[in-house]
Amino acid sequence: MDGAPYLVRYPAMPPPEVKMHLRERRGGMWRFCEWLPLGSGEAPVSLGEGGTPLLLADRLGARYGFAALRVKEEGVNPTGSFKARGLAAAVTRAVRAGAEGFVVPTAGNAGVALAAYAARAGVAARVYAPKSTPATICTQIRSFGADLVLLEGHIGDCGKAARVYAAEVGAVDVSTLREPYRIEGKKTLGLELAEQMGWTLPDAIVYPTGGGTGLIGMWKAFQELKAADWIKGALPRMYTVQSTGCAPVVQAFDSGADCCTAWPDPETIASGLCVPGPLGDRLMLRALRESAGAAVAVSDAALAAAAHELQTVEGIDAAPEGGAALAGAVELKRRRLIMAAETVVIVNTGAGWLYRA
């Protein structure tokens, strides 16, 4: 199908012995180079992305009755969000293939990441974002020298403009799932989690979902780890959290559909979750169902309050999306889809300061 996502397949995955080398390597996602689309001896376009902490959140765990609540703290990535992982991989491969310009439609953070990695590669970047994008995120995109175009409408409208621009000037479009390498970069989130938990996986992972690269990437990582015999035990249940102001994946999951219906009039302060018609809908819904997970929506008021709690109770500068993960985990526990004794990881996908004026 034209425009449908495609994923990278490797002829063979690295054998468990490669774990030995991992321990000797210094930080960052490229420690997992055997799992990534990187030729031997090839240097990635890197700003030190990945290698983020997995923090115990005991105080919030006690407050909400989780025996083991952990936060994968992605806000400390270069450019302040986990978009760094995907864009580092995508820019690395595109530059290698001769890219002379980049373009991305974004709800915000992918634009910051592309701007920085394009600058790192010495290549120009154009970013299309909605007018509603938080001001600090816009400032960051411009700071890295990208050409930012703000449009009426949502990320889907920006995507159309990006495709027109790419066709006109020959820029490489690094939109979510229109090229396969952002997923490979996001995969390292799953690889790191497995390593940080001693090559077992948590019972549940709660992930604030927009375009879905994180969810699809982690699930791909876990499948590959299992196939390569690197991990013990069961795969985690994967949970999507969205805002009640834009919840196409939740709606599709609950209605048993295998694809999303575009969400009309999307609106949420968690701009990363404002993706009304995700291209990776089938892949996401498959991951949620195969893993025996689910999808829940929380209100903007609830996700903002939860982000504030992560900040004040745990000292973690959560983005609104990270707040959504916490609020979602609490809701899933209330519905008894997650139990008190289970190990739970919530992903704080970005830094809170990017959303403050």
Ligand X SMILES: *Cc1c(COP(=O)(O)O)cnc(C)c1O
The site for ligand X (CB under 6 A) is made up of 81, 83, 109, 176, 208-214, 272, 319, 321, 349-350
CB-based contact 318:352 (threshold 8 Å): yes
Closer residue to ligand X, CB minimum distance, 112 or 166:
112
Closer residue to ligand X, CB minimum distance, 46 or 79:
79
Angle at 264 between CA 259 and CA 268, to 5 degrees: 100
Nearest-approach distance from CB 183 to ligand X, in angstroms: 9
Closer residue to ligand X, CB minimum distance, 37 or 212:
212
Tokens in use for 182?
Answer: 């952002």
Q: How many whole angstroms separate alpha carbon 97 and alpha carbon 59?
A: 48
Nearest-approach distance from CB 233 to ligand X, in angstroms: 25
Closer residue to ligand X, CB minimum distance, 154 or 230:
154
Tokens in use for 52?
Answer: 């983020």
Q: Which residues pair with 55 in a beta bridge?
A: 71
Nearest-approach distance from CB 100 to ligand X, in angstroms: 26
Nearest-approach distance from CB 1 to ligand X, in angstroms: 21
Which spans in the chain are helix H?
Answer: 18-24, 58-64, 83-96, 109-121, 135-143, 155-169, 181-196, 213-227, 248-254, 281-290, 300-314, 320-334
Closer residue to ligand X, CB minimum distance, 45 or 354:
354
Nearest-approach distance from CB 215 to ligand X, in angstroms: 6
Tokens in use for 271?
Answer: 């701009």
